[in-house]
């Protein structure tokens, strides 16, 4: 299927979600379930997209596991987004080289 068709659909849906409440709805959302549900969505969605997919994102699974371990460790220490991301990426790169050299991948 044409990629631009996908992009158009994505853009329209996302814009409508942002635009309709801004222009049409006058009162606040009072429903506690809906509020809580919307609050939890980003966390649920980001983690569902990350795990277990990240474990298969590198050429060798050992590199991926170590990259994730480094990311989790640094994230828990409160490091910023870019630090965590770069550290995970460098770990994956270095361990993949070692894996390749050892013929593990």
Partner 1 sequence: MDKEFQVGVKDGIPIALGYFAVSFSLGITMVSAGITAFQGAVMSVTNLTSAGQFAGVKVIAAGGTLLEMILTQFIINLRYSLMSLSLSQKLEPKMPLWKKLIIAFGNTDEIFAMAMNHQRSLTLRYMVGLQCLPILGWTAGTFLGAVACDLMPKNVSVAMNVMLYGMFIAIVLPVAKKSKPVLIVASVAVFLSSCFRFVPFLRVISEGISIIICTVLAAALGAILFPVTDEKNIPSEEGMKKVDETDKAAKEGGAGE
Please report, as residue ranges, which positions from 8 to 37 form the binding site for partner 1 (by CB under 8 A): 8-11, 13-15, 17-23, 25, 28-29, 32-37
Binds partner 1 (CB under 8 A): choice among 62, 97, 101, 102: 97
Cβ closer to partner 1: 97 or 102? 97
Q: How far is the CB of 1 from partner 1 (least distance, A)?
A: 7
Is 84 within 8 Å of 42 (Cβ atoms)? no
**Which residues, in sequence order, are CB contacts of 100 under 8 Å at separation 6+?**
59, 60
Binds partner 1 (CB under 8 A): choice among 80, 102, 103, 104: 80
> Helices (DSSP H) in the chain: which residue ranges?
3-23, 32-50, 61-76, 81-102
- Site pattern 37..76 for partner 1 (x: CB under 8 A): xxxxxxxxxxxxxxxxxx--xxx----x--xx--xx-xxx
Tokens of 70: 């480094």
């Amino acid at each position: 299927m044409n990629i631009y068709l996908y992009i158009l659909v994505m853009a329209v849906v996302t814009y409508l979600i942002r635009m309709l409440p801004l222009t049409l709805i006058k009162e606040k959302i009072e429903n506690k379930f809906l509020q809580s549900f919307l609050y939890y969505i980003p966390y649920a969605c980001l983690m569902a997209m990350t795990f277990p997919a990240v474990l298969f994102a590198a050429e060798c699974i050992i590199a991926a596991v170590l990259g994730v371990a480094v990311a989790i460790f640094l994230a828990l220490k409160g490091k910023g987004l870019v630090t965590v991301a770069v550290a995970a990426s460098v770990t994956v790169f270095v361990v993949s080289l070692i894996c390749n050299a050892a013929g593990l991948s």
